[in-house]
Structure 1
Amino acid sequence: MKIAVPTRDNRVDGHFGHCEFYSIVTVNENREIESIEKMESPEGCGCKSNIASVFQQMGISLMLAGNIGPGAINKINEVGVEVVRGCSGEVEDVVNSYLKGNLIDSGITCSAHENHGGEGHQCQH
């Protein structure tokens, strides 16, 4: 299993489309982290980039994200990648929490496209 985590400073980035890079986590059949690789983030917002097709080509089946907009979720879901929103913390801790069954999707969709400045994102609850 491969998991993508939008990352900034080794933590889940609060805004998927503006992350510094992606942590690509490979999990073995015992549900243990086997490796974590760094993948550069494409330019532009997530829903306007080719990241969904890159995830598909890499065999990624899950993304653990902080805030993410509906356009990006739709594109990522269309290629068969599940998205769990509302994650925060160190990448390895978040992945391990998911693997132990302690994370669920927050159901919160970010409407940050109204403000591309990066600050003051308003997320819908």
Structure 2
Amino acid sequence: MKLAISTENNQVAGHFGRCAEYTIAEIIDNEVISKETIENPGHQPGFLPGFLADKGVNCIISGGMGRKAANLFAESNIETVVGVKGNIDNVIDKFLSNDLDASNDLCDH
């Protein structure tokens, strides 16, 4: 499994498409085997689902995301988890322990 987490200053960013970067974590047998940070290639309608699918991502974690983007990720069989806040490493740990606190979408548009 690969997670893509919207990232800003090592924290979960509030908006998936407009964040500075993404943290990509590869998980096998409930352990992180690799983690990298990549620059956001740009907020272009419909681009990110294909871009991240090509990287093998199958779950998105973010503070918020527009409804259209969430639908496009769903069409690419990529799960979206929104309403998440916190330090990236802590969020990954909570994801692994099924204790991730995902609340209301924090996106304001």
- TM-score if structure 2 supplies the norm length? 0.90
Taking only aligned residues, the RMSD between alpha carbons, in angstroms, comes to 1.6
SS at match of 1:110: coil
2:63·2:83 contact (CA, 8 Å) conserved in 1?
A: yes
In structure 2, how many angstroms separate the alpha carbons of the residues matched to 1:105 and 1:87? Answer: 5
In structure 1, how many angstroms separate the alpha carbons of the residues matched to 2:83 and 2:104? Answer: 8
* Structure in which a larger fraction of residues adopt helix: 1
1:11·1:91 contact (CA, 8 Å) conserved in 2?
A: yes
In structure 1, how many angstroms separate the alpha carbons of the residues matched to 2:20 and 2:8? Answer: 5
**Residue segments in structure 2 that go unaligned for 5+ positions in a row:** none
In structure 1, how many angstroms separate the alpha carbons of the residues matched to 2:21 and 2:53? Answer: 17
In structure 2, how many angstroms separate the alpha carbons of the residues matched to 1:103 and 1:68? Answer: 17
Match of 2:103 in 1: 106
SS at match of 1:55: helix
2:24·2:35 contact (CA, 8 Å) conserved in 1?
A: yes
1:70·1:110 contact (CA, 8 Å) conserved in 2?
A: no
1:32-111 alignment runs, 5 A limit = 32-44=31-43, 48-103=45-100, 105-106=102-103, 108=105, 110-111=107-108
2:46·2:72 contact (CA, 8 Å) conserved in 1?
A: no
Q: Which amino acid aligns with 1:16?
A: F
2:14·2:107 contact (CA, 8 Å) conserved in 1?
A: no
**Residue segments in structure 1 that go unaligned for 5+ positions in a row:** 113-125
Number of equivalent positions: 109
Identity %: 30
Greater than 6 Å deviation, 4+ residue runs? none
Asked which structure has the greater RCO (Cα within 8 Å, sep 6+), the reply is: 2
1:7·1:13 contact (CA, 8 Å) conserved in 2?
A: yes
In structure 1, how many angstroms separate the alpha carbons of the residues matched to 2:14 and 2:61? Answer: 11
